[in-house]
Amino acid sequence: MTATARAERPIALADLGERLAALRLTEACTLAAMRASLLQHGQLSPVCAFEYGGALEIFDGFKRLRAARVLGLDALRAVVVAVDIVEATVHMRERHAGRGLTALEEAWIVRALYRDHGLSQGAIGARLRCHKSWVCRRLTLVEALDTSVQADVRLGLLAPRAAVLVAALPRGNQTLAAAVVIRRGLTVRQTAHLVRELLDTADPGALEAVLRRWAQGHALPCRPGLRAVRGVVETLTLDITTIRRSAGRLESLLVTTPLAALESGAAVLVRQSLGELAGVLRALERSIAGALAKNDATQAL
C-alpha cells in the first residue's frame, strides 16, 4: 500500500464502521474459521481503516471485525491509512487481486467507483490496473443482475457463480430462474444448463414450461457430462441441510451487523428481503408441522 499509514494501534470495535462492507461477501464458513483463528492464535494481522466523516471505516478486515464482535472482544489492532473513500475502495480490490474476490464482488467495487464516486470507466481501469474492457464487463454484470438476485447472494442462498450465470437472462426471468436454483439446490453446472435452455426458449409459454419442469424435479434432459438432477429424497435432505446452515449464518450476521450500519440503499434492500423471508419461513413452518402431523397419524394406524 503506497498511501501513508499511521502506526498500528488498538481501536475499540465500536469505533470501527462498515460503510464499505456491502462490497464484500462474508460466508458463514469463513466467519467461523476466523473466529476459531482468533480464539486459537489471536489477531495475526491488523485491520485497515480510513477516516471518513469524522469516523473510522474499515476497508480490509471485515471478517476479523465481525468475528471479534461475535467473540465479545473490545478492540482490534488497526492501521489507519491516509486515503479517501475512493482510494479505500480501490485498495479493497488491489489487496485481493487475483485471489479472494468473486466476480460479483469485483463488480460491486466497480459500480461503487462508477456510480457513487463518478469515475469514468477509463479512470477505474487505470486505478485498478485493469483494461477498460474488464471494467465494462464487470459493470455490465452488476447492472444487468436483478437486485433481488444480488440479495439472494448476500444472504447465502445463491452461489455467486450461479448468480453470474443467471445474469445472462432478461431481468424478468432472473428471479424466477434464481428461485428454481435455490429451491432445487442446483449445482453451478446445472444452473448453466438451465440458463442455456431458457435462453434457447423464445416462446413465453414454453419458457414457463421449462421453469415448471425444473422446479418440479421431473426428468431433465442432460447433456454429456452433466450430472443428473437429484431425486426427491436427496433434494429434501440437501434443502434441509442448506436451510439450517443458511439460517445459522443469517442469524449470526443479523446479530453482528445492525441494519443501521449498512448504506441506506443496502439497508432498504435487506429489510425488504427479510420481510419476504419472514413470510416464507412462516409458510414453511406450517408445511413442516403439517407434514409431521400426517406422518405421526400414519404411523399411529
pLDDT in tens, 39-78: 999 999 999 999 999 999 999 999 999 999 999 999 999 9
Q: Encode pLDDT of 122-170 as tens digits.
A: 999 999 999 999 999 999 999 999 999 999 999 889 999 999 999 999 9
pTM score over 0.75: no
The whole-angstrom separation of Cα 181 and Cα 162 is 8
Query: Measured between alpha carbons, how far apart are the two ends of the chain, in Å?
Result: 71
Rounded to the nearest 10 degrees, how much is the dihedral formed by the CA atoms of 67, 72, 75, 81?
A: 30
d(CA 127, CA 235): 45
pLDDT tens-digit map of 213-228: 999 876 455 454 444 4
- pLDDT confidence band for 203 (50 / 70 / 90): confident
Instruction: Calculate the CA dihedral of residues 227, 229, 233, 239 and round it to 10 degrees.
Output: 100
DSSP 129: T
The H-or-E segment that residue 48 falls in is strand 47-52
Indicate whether 244 pLDDT > 80: no
More confident residue, 248 or 9: 9
Give the helix ranges, DSSP H, for the chain. 28-41, 62-71, 85-94, 103-111, 121-128, 132-144, 147-154, 160-166, 171-184, 188-199, 204-216, 232-256, 264-300
